[in-house]
Structure 1
Amino acid sequence: MNYDVSQAIPGEKIAITTDTFTEPFWQAAREERLTACHCADCNTFRMPPTAYCPNCQSQNTDWPTLPGTGTVFSFAICTRSPYPDVPDFTYVPAVIDLTGAPGARLVSNIVGLPAGDVKIGMEVKVDWNPIQDGWKLPIFRKV
């Protein structure tokens, strides 16, 4: 099937809320840095961030800056707008294995190429989609 070029979800439609555990991720994204929650005691990465490390139950974390690359673990192709007031467009939600953060995966979108060209194992790099309230959402493009 021939698909259109994948696009980002319109930023004006995306609002986030933060809490103690997610704020460092969103602050880094605002600065266009990709990061992931890392246990300072056992070195386990986790996404999404949680109060306790699933490996050792520690609450000690750090947030290293990652290279901003990854590989597509899974994806879907969507051709209908999720918003009734936005015309249909093609978007590709994807699960990305993050380089430099073993075991951490981020749900995001692949943009900028025909949706039919997206493949599992494809290398991607981060880009940034401005969203509401001055925040930025990480999205990915083919390397």
Structure 2
Amino acid sequence: MSDIQTSTVSEEGFASTSQVGDFELTIDATNEDGPDPNQVLVADYASCFLPAFRVGGQQTGHDDLGKVQIDADADLNDDDDLERISFAIHVEANLDDGEFDEIVDRAEGICHVHAALREELHADIEVHGGAF
């Protein structure tokens, strides 16, 4: 038996509903009835990276980062394939650049979505401390 099972159905058009455990997610290639697949992938990446960033903070002795927000940007090529992703991470804690770099390095090793993406799609990351 596999570790992850989903079921995705489309009755008509380009929207589909995915069942993931007890949750439903509507994804629409036309971006009318839900986010499109590329938007979902970027949001999924950020949603994975944020807790990985918190764990990286804990592993480096920074248990209380406070509020953390990731603003993600992505560019598409002419074929609408993802070409570039960047994260601006805003952190309530005001650490120095070296401390943030160490946390980011650890988060990159923890985030499963980061590991699953081809290397040229790994997010370019900037961290801004004292943000809130």
Instruction: Specify if TM > 0.5.
Output: no
Bigger radius of gyration among the two = 2
Q: Higher relative contact order by CA 8 Å / sep ≥ 6: 1 or 2? A: 1
Q: Which has the higher helix share?
A: 2
* TM bucket, shorter chain: under 0.3
TM norm structure 2: 0.27
